[in-house]
């Protein structure tokens, strides 16, 4: 029996899986970019919020707890004013600009002074030249104050990052401005050449022109962690598609195998039915042609041949009908106390003629203890008959068969072992399928079969609450084992 598959199915299924993988990768790539952008926006919001808090704290000092002050200095109006002042002092026109910022806190008020002086003409040029030639020196005291301010700013950023569940490795850069002109980086707590994210430069104290910048070396781990559910769902989807394609291919292959096995069964059954009919036809024709009524001995011989073949024909028809009844649920087991060892003795004895014709030997090793089960005598007898008959049928001439029966408190085990050609491991499960015959078995001389026997054995044993399995290697014989629950009296 040759199993073939549609040559287009495997490429089509492979293409479907490949397409699913590509679509999922494209979707995940787009999602990764979107998540990366969202993370950067969240980081920017954190730094912006930290900047507002830092400027508010530096501006008001010990009066920052006042609700009215907080309401104003964190309001959009003040933020817009601060942003405008910050942008002006940081723009390209600041070479023509002199600016200052000062604040004073009193018992009942806070005074903020913002001074802007814009130069024009030669005055602006001279101012820019003077700023470049004589840079304003920063006192050690102011530098220390600024260092503390930037560390507080960075601490606030870290707290807000944790609150926002932005678990990233982060560093900062601090910048100062010389005479409102040249930007000089004077502090970076970790040199990162190509970071994944740099925030805008934010002021953290309007009394100075210093800026804070958040630096994040990598965002991939955070983005992938946020995408973990999507990645897992994509992986599961691909697995499901792959499993579905595999299941479809396997189902089609099994159906094709079943169809080919059924076709082979029809052919084999036709041949097996024709053989006894042909023998009977020849026997009856010989009786009439040679007037064997006058030769009682030969007549009796031909009648016995016809009777044997009719019995064989009946068994084949019964075998097919029994399986059909099982499928329709028409089989009803007539269970009673059944002596397994007595049944095996009778089956072995009934096959003595076939054993002699095959030049075979059969030995039966009964258990020392009685082995009883609750079973249907007719069907269980057929089970053991089928297994021993298969050992004779598929074994080579001179095959040796060992029948063994043992039992314990829970179950009875019947073992039928032969030294025949054996069965390859890939067929151990398939041989119990209906219509299945091992490829090449049909080519062996004088081996006839329908592919129904072992399927019948399996179903009847399972209907009795038992199991059947096989141990076999090619060229080393086969061993079939039937397990049945032992009879227990209530």
pLDDT in tens, 383-436: 898 899 889 888 878 899 999 999 998 999 999 999 988 888 888 888 888 777
What percent of the chain clears pLDDT 90, i.e. is strictly above it?
25
Question: 47-56, 84-93, 231-240, 281-290: which range is least confident on average?
Answer: 84-93
Residue 134 binned pLDDT confidence (cut-offs 50, 70, 90):
very low
d(CA 48, CA 211): 12
Q: Largest Cα–Cα distance in the chain? A: 153
- Please state, in angstroms and as integers, the Cα–Cα distance from residue 108 to each residue in 63, 66, 68, 111, following that order: 10, 10, 11, 10
The reply to whether 139 and 72 lie within a common domain is yes
Q: How many CB atoms lie within 10 A of CB 271?
A: 12
Structural domain boundaries, residue 321: 266-328
The backbone torsions φ and ψ at residue 407, rounded to the nearest 5 degrees and listed phi first, read: -155, 155
pTM above 0.85, yes or no: no
Cα–Cα separations (whole angstroms), residue 38 to 164, 226, 304, 323? 12, 11, 93, 66
The mean pLDDT value for 213-221 works out to 91
Q: Which residues pair with 418 in a beta bridge?
A: 401, 478
pLDDT at res. 85: 73
Q: Please tell me which residue, 259 or 289, carries the higher pLDDT value.
A: 289
Last residue of a domain, one of 224, 255, 274: 224
> Given CA atoms 187, 189, 190, 193 in this order, what sign does their dihedral have?
negative
Give the whole-angstrom CA distance, residue 388 versus residue 349.
Answer: 11
The per-residue pLDDT for range 22-47, each reduced to its tens digit, is 999 999 999 999 999 999 999 999 99
DSSP codes joined into one string, 116-145: EEE--HHHHHHHHHHHHHSPPPPPHHHHHH
Number of domains forming the structure of the chain: 3
**DSSP-assigned letter for residue 486:** B
Q: How far are the Cα atoms of 271, 281, 290, 298 from residue 285, in angstroms, in the given order?
A: 21, 6, 8, 13
316 with 352, same domain: the answer is: no
Q: Of the residues 328, 345, 372, which one is the last residue of a structural domain?
A: 328
Beta bridge partners of 485: 411
Domain annotation covers residue 21: no
Position 6 scores a pLDDT of 61
Are both 287 and 424 inside the same structural domain?
A: no
111 and 219 belong to one structural domain: yes
Are 199 and 44 in contact by the 8 Å Cβ rule? The answer is: yes
Domain boundary among 328, 352, 381: 328
């Amino acid at each position: 029996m040759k199993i073939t598959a549609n040559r287009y199915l495997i490429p089509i299924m492979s293409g479907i899986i490949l397409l699913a993988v590509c679509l999922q990768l494209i979707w995940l790539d787009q999602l990764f970019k979107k998540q990366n952008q969202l993370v950067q926006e969240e980081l920017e919001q954190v730094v912006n919020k930290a900047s507002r808090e830092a400027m508010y704290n530096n501006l008001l000092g010990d009066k920052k707890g006042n609700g009215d002050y907080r309401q104003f200095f964190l309001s959009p109006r003040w933020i817009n004013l601060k942003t405008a002042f910050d942008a002006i002092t940081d723009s390209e026109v600041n070479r023509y600009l002199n600016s200052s910022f000062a604040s004073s806190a009193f018992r009942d008020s806070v005074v903020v002074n913002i001074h802007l002086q814009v130069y024009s003409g030669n005055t602006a040029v001279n101012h820019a030249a003077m700023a470049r030639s004589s840079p304003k020196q920063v006192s050690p005291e102011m530098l220390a104050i600024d260092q503390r301010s930037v560390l507080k700013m960075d601490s606030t950023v870290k707290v807000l990052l944790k609150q926002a569940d932005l678990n990233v490795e982060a560093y900062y850069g601090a910048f100062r401005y010389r005479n409102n002109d040249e930007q000089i980086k004077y502090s970076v707590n970790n040199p990162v050449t190509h970071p994944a994210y740099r925030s805008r430069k934010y002021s953290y104290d309007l009394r100075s022109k210093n800026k804070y910048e958040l630096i994040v070396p990598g965002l991939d781990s955070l983005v992938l962690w946020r995408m973990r559910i999507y990645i897992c769902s994509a992986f599961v989807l691909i697995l499901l598609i792959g499993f579905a394609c595999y299941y479809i291919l396997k189902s089609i292959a099994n159906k094709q195998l079943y169809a080919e096995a059924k076709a082979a069964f029809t052919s084999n059954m036709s041949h097996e039915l024709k053989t006894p009919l042909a023998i009977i036809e020849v026997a009856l024709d010989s009786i009439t042609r040679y007037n064997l009524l006058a030769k009682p001995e030969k007549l009796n011989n031909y009648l016995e041949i016809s009777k044997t073949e009719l019995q064989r024909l009946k068994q084949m028809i019964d075998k097919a009908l029994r399986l059909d009844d099982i499928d329709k649920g028409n089989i009803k087991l007539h269970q009673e106390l059944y002596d397994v060892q007595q049944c095996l003795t009778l089956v072995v004895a009934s096959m003595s003629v076939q054993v002699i014709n095959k030049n075979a030997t059969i030995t039966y090793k009964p258990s020392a203890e009685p082995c009883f089960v609750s079973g249907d005598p007719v069907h269980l007898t057929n089970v053991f008959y089928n297994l021993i008959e298969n050992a004779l049928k598929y074994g080579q001439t001179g095959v040796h068969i060992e029948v063994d029966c043992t039992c314990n408190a829970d179950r009875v085990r019947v073992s039928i072992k032969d030294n025949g050609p054996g069965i390859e491991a890939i067929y151990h499960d398939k041989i119990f399928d209906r219509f299945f015959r091992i490829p090449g078995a049909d080519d062996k001389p004088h081996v006839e079969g329908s592919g129904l026997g072992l399927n019948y054995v399996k179903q009847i044993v399972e209907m009795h609450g038992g199991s059947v399995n096989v141990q076999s290697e090619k060229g080393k014989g086969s061993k079939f084992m039937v397990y049945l629950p032992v009879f227990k009296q209530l």
